[in-house]
Amino acid sequence: MKYWQEEETYSLEQKRAVQTERLIKTVNRVYENVPFYHEKMKELGIEPGDIKSIDDLSKLPFTNKQDLRDHYPYGLFAVPMEEVVRIHASSGTTGQPTVVGYTKNDIEMWQNMMARCYTAYGLTKKDIIQVAYGYGLFTGGLGAHYGSEYLGATTVPISGGNTKKQIQLLQEFGSTAIACTPSYALYIGESMKNMGIDPRSTNLRVGIFGAEPWTDEMRETIESTFGIEAMNIYGLSEIMGPGVAFDCQHKHGLHINDDHFVPEIINPDTTELMPNGEEGELVFTCITKEALPLLRYRTHDVTKLYTKPCACGRTLTRMGRITGRSDDMLIIRGVNVFPSQIESIILKVAEAAPHYVLIVDRINNLDTLEVWVEAKEGLFTDAIKSLERVEKHITNELFSLLGLHVRVRLVEPRTIERSEGKAKRIIDKRQK
């Protein structure tokens, strides 16, 4: 089977008709059911009736991550809670997560989108898919899991971590595909070599990699390490989770499921639409979701769109690689990290405003995050044990907020570079 659904190859006219019909329905629903959008549209002086086709999309208000936080937890839901069957969440500043919800139909749609991805990767119900994304509030694990079952594949829900077990199952369960972050795949490969196991010796033939930006060089390394096809998957919980966009076997840009999530590219500074084919911030509008149909959600991911149909036959809009962020969010081992989150914890522990810098690197194929904090008054004491306590306190607080082990280092005052009086907060040594 080449495609999962015929919608993937709709003609442009067919697609526009579907998008128009769905957008109008969605706008009417959120205008009626979500006070936030009702107010926003009123502010802009528009009514649902003004949206007559998909071309009117740019008249609609934007949604920011902050709007989700301001309406924490369920304030932007467009259905009563009795319709909501699933909640996911991502970590947020000062411990307040971003909460997303799904109705039964949303879950059905999501697994359909995932099945589209798997099909494009060349997977069928004959495959054994080892899901090594984290299960839980993070969308990665359950998203990949439901899609895999829906495809009819044998699903191995091992979740993330426990590398030895991952390797054992790859060898003994005969997994033909693995879903995880690309950096974790490389880490598994290194671990296999260290254990004297040839990473090419398993039945693995496809990798489903996402949740963090990666390069073509990483793709080549993973493919040659394991002897597999390394396929890219894109998604974000606010829109749905994994499965918003996917590679096909031509690997010429990610195919966006744009009959469900309509993409736009804007200038992040002016919020105006960018001309076709130019790079800017990616924005999505959900036109089929019931529980959380966000309008013009700003992803802050920087990329460009291609509208030309792909050689695979799909007519879905394609997006290029994510080349950066239009905000300061970092992605560390698939976890979204905002410097402000780390700052709030340092402030809490240090009771002052010390200078700090975040050092991001990739060591042995795994992202690492170090926080350097200047040991100034308020933080510095004469006893080693209390300095160690400060380091440990910050490390523990960051672990409970982000689920990441962050190395905290105290450094001398003024060692952190200042530029024009302002400190440079992030040093990202990872290859772009």
According to DSSP, the β-strands at 330-332 and 98-103 are: unpaired
- Min CB(407)–other proteins separation in Å: 10
Binding mask 65-84 for other proteins (x = CB under 8 A): --------------------
Q: For residue 249, what are the CA distances in angstroms to 202, 228, 337, 397?
A: 21, 12, 31, 43
- Residue 414 makes contact with other proteins by CB under 8 A: yes
- Min CB(380)–other proteins separation in Å: 4
Choice between 278 and 388, CB closer to other proteins: 388
Choice between 57 and 369, CB closer to other proteins: 369
- Rounded distance, CA 130 to CA 176, Å? 8
Choice between 405 and 414, CB closer to other proteins: 414
Q: Number of helices (H) and strands (E), helices first, in the chain?
A: 10, 23
Where in 85-104 is the site for other proteins (CB under 8 A)?
A: none
- Residue 29 makes contact with other proteins by CB under 8 A: no
Q: For residue 301, what are the CA distances in angstroms to 267, 354, 389?
A: 12, 30, 37
What's at 65, amino acid-wise?
Answer: K
Choice between 46 and 387, CB closer to other proteins: 387
Where in 266-295 is the site for other proteins (CB under 8 A)?
A: none
Q: b/e string for 371-409 if b means 16 or more Cβ within 10 A?
A: bbbbbbeebbeeeeeeeeebbeebbebbeebbebebebe
Q: Which two tokens stand for residue 152?
A: 């009819």
Coil, strand or helix: which one is 360? strand
Backbone phi, psi, residue 407, to 5°: -85, 125
Choice between 273 and 387, CB closer to other proteins: 387
Choice between 216 and 412, CB closer to other proteins: 412
Binding mask 372-411 for other proteins (x = CB under 8 A): --xxxx--xxxxx--xx--------------------xxx
- Residue 353 makes contact with other proteins by CB under 8 A: no
- Are 377 and 352 within 8 A, CB to CB? yes
Of the listed pieces 211-219, 328-336, 339-347, 370-378, which binds other proteins according to CB under 8 A? Answer: 370-378
- Min CB(426)–other proteins separation in Å: 20
Could you give the dihedral angle defined by the CA atoms of residues 413, 414, 416 and 420, in that order, rounded to the nearest 10 degrees?
Answer: 140
- Min CB(369)–other proteins separation in Å: 16
Binding site for other proteins (CB under 8 A): 374-377, 380-384, 387-388, 409-415
